[in-house]
A = this chain, B = another copy of it.
């Protein structure tokens, strides 16, 4: 706990994710060690992220959001398998980067948690990962029309949005379309590369960002941009996309991102 910078109250996520102790020798032999307790305010933001994404229509009953453990970069935190709008602090589970739960008593794990673990392995810069079936983004995953930024708030897409084809991963489990293991997760993370967003063909997308607030913003404005781009395409004619220079400039001088997070969190948590 001394590693935590914040002085706000800690919630005992150890209640569901206890650090290995002598009383539980069997689990101690196989389960990885916890990264330690996490500040309640950080967990609250992760819970809020789940509900925000549901409230904004980015996720429905499925989709998930994780954060890297603030004290141990080899651990991440994510809800057990549960519709995002229902997630509470008590549902947050800790995983190592192979996506093995620290405490096997934490409930049923998300089947596709390997998306998260493998992105954290490949991207030390990433502090939060979101996977969703964002409804207007999926159509871009099944056509040859690249998703590109038409709205300045989605300028982060200027670096390009790769489309991951699970058929190319060469894993037999890939026929089920789900990222069921580390091999498939690694393949997706490789396609994502250093980008903030990658599409998953016929499935959804993955968003990676330095922190959960930014990841949520990216996920929401990727959906908003997809809607606007689809309308622009239906209007016909050439489209004047956000340029590389503009995208880079906006990335260097971010605007007032806190305003959106404050609103979304207030709506999601009612406070």
Taking beta carbons and an 8 Å cutoff, which residues of A are in contact with B? 60-62, 81-83, 85-86, 108, 110-111, 133, 135-136, 138-145, 149-153, 155, 167, 175-178, 201-203, 224, 227-243, 245-246, 248-250, 253, 255-256, 259-260, 262-264, 266
Contact = CB atoms under 8 A, between A and B. Distances in A.
A61 to B, nearest CB: 4
A241 B201 CA distance: 9
A239 to B, nearest CB: 5
B60 A260 contact: yes
Ordered nearest first, which 7 A-B pairs have the shortest CB separation? A61-B260, A83-B263, A175-B249, A139-B232, A152-B177, A139-B231, A61-B263
B241 A230 contact: no
B266 A111 contact: no
Contact of A228 (B135, B201, B231): B135
Given A233-B234, A260-B62, A240 B143 contact: yes
Nearest to A227: B135
Contact of A176 (B232, B240, B250, B260): B250
Given A61-B259, A62-B259, A264-B61, A153 B139 contact: no
Number of copies: 4
Contacts of A238: 143-144
Contacts of A266: 86
Given A175-B249, A227-B135, A236 B233 contact: yes
A133 B145 contact: no
Interface centre among A144, A152, A243 (most CB of B within 10 A): A152
A44 B137 CA distance: 35
A232 B238 CA distance: 18
B152 A82 contact: no
Contact of A143 (B141, B236, B259): B236
Nearest to A217: B61
A239 B83 contact: no
A170 to B, nearest CB: 14
Contacts of A61: 259-260, 263-264
Contact of A246 (B152, B177, B234, B235): B177
